Amino acid sequence: MTLDKSMLKVAQDAKAASHVLASLSTAVKNDLLQRMAQALIEQADVLITANELDLAAARAAGLAPAMIDRLVVDMKVVRSMADGLREVAELPDPVGEITGMRRRPNGLQVGRMRIPLGVIGIIYESRPNVTADAAGLCLKSGNAVILRGGKEAIHSNLAIGKILKNELERLGLPAAALQVIETTEREAMLELLQREEEIDLIIPRGGEGLIRFVSEHSRIPVIKHYKGVCHTFIDASADYAQAEKICINAKVQRPGVCNAMETLLIHQDIAETFVPRITAAMQTSGVELRGCPITCEFAENVLPASEDDWHAEYLDLTLAVRVVDNLDAAIAHIRKYGSLHTEVIVTRDYANSQRFLREVNSSVVMVNASSRFSDGNQFGLGAEIGISTTKLHSFGPMGLEDLTTRKFIVLGDGQTRS
């Protein structure tokens, strides 16, 4: 079968399966997810063995340590995938929820019912856990899912997908409800991106290059998240110990993820005392610093920052540091250089915290907490399908409800329109 016909069949089979999934009861979907979680645990050795093939290839190809970290599937990751599926099973099912019922003057009752989107395509790099997370969220929300991972995790993704599909078949459900594309050829992805009649939404997860490529070539609506240039602003009133703790966690705890801090902004009124303190703490933690002239004046061993540094998503132990005049300047910097992901203010000034919340329009805005909390699981959504930095139709971490839409329902008693 040619590649174009093969991808057409994948899409058509998924569309047919989506009709079955849309009518499943919550109990059946929850049972399926619980079975999938248990199957992952029971076959952990199969997953770890498959993952070792990917890790060996990644090391041979010279992938960066941060990329290899995203690839690892060990027992901890397997348990995390299983726990994610169980957590999704415990979440309320949005499908079928009816809201806004109201009676019109003519007696008609009009409301809205939440329904699945249909078929969702996930295109992603590294992170084999995405295979299980995405499958769980899509199936619980009544959607069929087509998963196209990167070549660096092909063995891991196929192994996870096979285990999950087996559970679908054991319950007599269509295996096409969950399909992992077996080829890593780019042409296969291009073919999928043309299947607008069968696929309802594309969610790319990965580097900026992948997301721009998908957005430029897709005939299907795309949820975009180009990069995570996350800022933390230390206000003049901030508690220094709290600010230091938050900043170290935001940069160091896991630097290779999209919710890690990439730029630190510091109010000029505290620069002389706080800049030396925070830069020394960062350097002790192995962070390379690139700073504005004032930062370089107050701290040692800081490289001068270039314009590119303010745009950079390092995904590594590198941090840009800038001293700004005031809150207005911090907000202006974020508006110019931010990626609409996550922004943080550390302050004891209530008025400033509220201004920051109102005027910074990123998908997540936080007060006195690490940007590392910007995550669907941490927000109570269960496993996260991705983070949207576009405002239609979802903004920020995406959970079950974001994989549904609403249709109008109308209840009448013989009314006709004159």
pLDDT band at 116 (very low <50, low <70, confident <90, very high): very high
**pLDDT tens per residue across span 253-274:** 999 889 999 999 999 999 999 9
**pLDDT tens per residue across span 28-69:** 999 999 999 999 999 999 999 999 999 999 999 998 887 888
**pLDDT tens per residue across span 283-341:** 999 999 999 999 999 999 999 999 999 999 999 999 999 999 999 999 999 999 999 99
The answer to whether 261 and 344 have CB atoms below 8 angstroms apart is: yes
Q: Across residues 222-241, what is the average pLDDT?
A: 96
| Cα 52 to Cα 56, 73, 392, distances in angstroms | 6, 8, 39
pLDDT at 182: 95
**Three-state secondary structure of the chain:** CCHHHHHHHHHHHHHHHHHHHHCCCHHHHHHHHHHHHHHHHHCHHHHHHHHHHHHHHHHHCCCCHHHHHHHCCCHHHHHHHHHHHHHHHHCCCCCCCEEEEEECCCCCEEEEEEEECCEEEEEECCCCHHHHHHHHHHHHCCCEEEEECCHHHHHHHHHHHHHHHHHHHHCCCCHHHEEECCCCCHHHHHHHCCCCCCCCEEEEECCHHHHHHHHHHCCCCECCCCCCCEEEEECCCCCHHHHHHHHHHHHHCCCCCCCCEEEEEEEHHHHHHHHHHHHHHHHHCCCEEEECHHHHHHCCCCEECCHHHHHCCCCCCEEEEEEECCHHHHHHHHHHHCCCCEEEEECCCHHHHHHHHHHCCCCEEEECCCHHHCCCCCCCCCCCCEEECCCCCCCEEECCHHHEEEEEEEECCCCCCC
Residues linked to residue 13 through DSSP beta bridges, in sequence order: none
| Residues in CB range of 7: below 8 A, 6 or more apart | 188, 191, 192, 195
Q: Across residues 348-364, what is the average pLDDT?
A: 98
Q: Is 2 exposed, middle or buried (0-12, 13-18, 19+ CB in 10 A)?
A: exposed
Task: Say whether pLDDT at 214 is over 90.
Answer: yes
